Amino acid sequence: MDWITCTKSFVTVVDQGSLAQAATKLNTSSSALSKRLAWLEKQLGVQLLKRTTRSLTMTDAGRLFYQRSARLLDDWHQMLAETTSTYGDVSGVLRIGAPLAVGSRLLVNYLAEFIEVYPNIQVELHTITPGQLPDLNLDVFISKELTDFNSSSYIATKLFNFRHGFYAAPSYLEGKPLIDSPEQLTQHNCLMFGTHGHEQEHVFENEVRVRLKGNFTTQNPEALVAAAVAGMGIILAGENTVKRELSKGLLVPVLPELRQPVSSAYAYYPKLDYNHVKTKLFIDFIKAKSNPAHS
């Protein structure tokens, strides 16, 4: 008996939901798994699983042990793979955290190509709250620059610059006077992103302030872009966010000289005792693909 084998058996039993299914996955017998679980519980001095003929549930101690050990096992296998593999052969799960707008409108386009280049890497994309601090359960965390993150536990690296401008569908602009000043925006229906109601004030370059009003607010970036494409009004968004719609002529810039100050997106990842190859590959890939001209 050893800790790694028995811990892996416990995690697999929980993941599979039964001894029989776990035994099949691990190519062993249910009785062998039972012995490993009994050894593990004896060493820990606590009960990890409640087993009956019909069900298998974790105790509170088992739930805590599962959460931590599943992560540690993944890191262990990753360390072994990264020690013996070349970059082209890297495999395993890459857990990425990103705000919904970044994940659904920007990263997804990059991830398709990233997975094509590195087909053995499995990606999990988790939605995070804007401004949320890094999560140790994630391999890399995409966010605007954070001023209060734990620099002793995390490394921060800048990915790309971005800034927001105004866009609308040709159908919305058709028949309306040309918009050639910020003041004229207040006469138009602006589609709002976030939870701040139907009236928002935004600051632009040269300290220009514009109070926007509109009849549609959402926290869903896909719904916001779809509403703009449908001709419901003008949106304030990053160029990369609406890149696809711009290329197809579904949206066009409005007052392009009026843009918000440049912001930066950063990748935050935990400091580890070994090189985190999957994370490095992902960060380098995004940096290479992010066109500085779009900042």
Q: Write down which residue in 55, 84, 113 finishes a domain.
A: 84
Residue 258 lies in a domain: no
Last residue of some domain: 47, 67, 84?
Answer: 84
Domain with 113, as residue range(s), is 92-161+263-290
pLDDT confidence of 295, banded at 50, 70, 90?
Answer: very low
Is 151 within a domain?
yes
Is 295 domain-assigned?
no
Q: Is the pTM of this model over 0.75?
A: no
Q: In this structure, what CATH number is given to the domain that contains residue 206?
A: 3.40.190.290
Same domain, yes or no, for 143 and 281? yes
pLDDT of res. 228: 96
One domain, residues 113 and 127: yes
57 and 109 in a single domain? The answer is no
* Beta pairing partners, 56: 51
Note whether residue 130 is domain-resident.
yes
Q: Do 191 and 249 share a structural domain?
A: yes
Judge whether 227 lies within some domain: yes
> What CATH code is carried by the domain that includes residue 48?
1.10.10.10
CATH at 135: 3.40.190.10
What is the reported pLDDT for 25?
86
Q: What is the mean pLDDT of residues 263-268?
A: 88
Q: Which of 56, 84, 112 is the last residue of a domain?
A: 84
Same domain, 132 and 278: yes
131 and 210, same domain (yes or no): no
pLDDT tens sequence across 74-104 = 777 766 666 655 555 677 889 999 887 777 7
Q: Say yes or no: 139 and 271 in one domain.
A: yes
Q: 181 and 131, same structural domain?
A: no
What digits encode the pLDDT tens for the residues 121-133?
A: 899 988 887 767 7
Same domain, 97 and 169: no
Query: In this structure, are 40 and 185 located in the same domain?
Result: no
* 11 located within any domain: yes
Question: In this structure, are 144 and 173 located in the same domain?
Answer: no
Q: For 162-220, what is each residue's pLDDT tens digit?
A: 889 999 999 999 999 889 999 999 889 999 987 767 888 888 888 889 899 999 999 88
Q: pLDDT digits over 23-41, tens only?
A: 988 888 989 999 999 999 9
pLDDT digits (tens, 9 = 90+) for 129-156: 776 776 777 889 888 888 777 677 788 8
Tally of domains within the chain: 3
Residues 152 and 180 in one domain: no
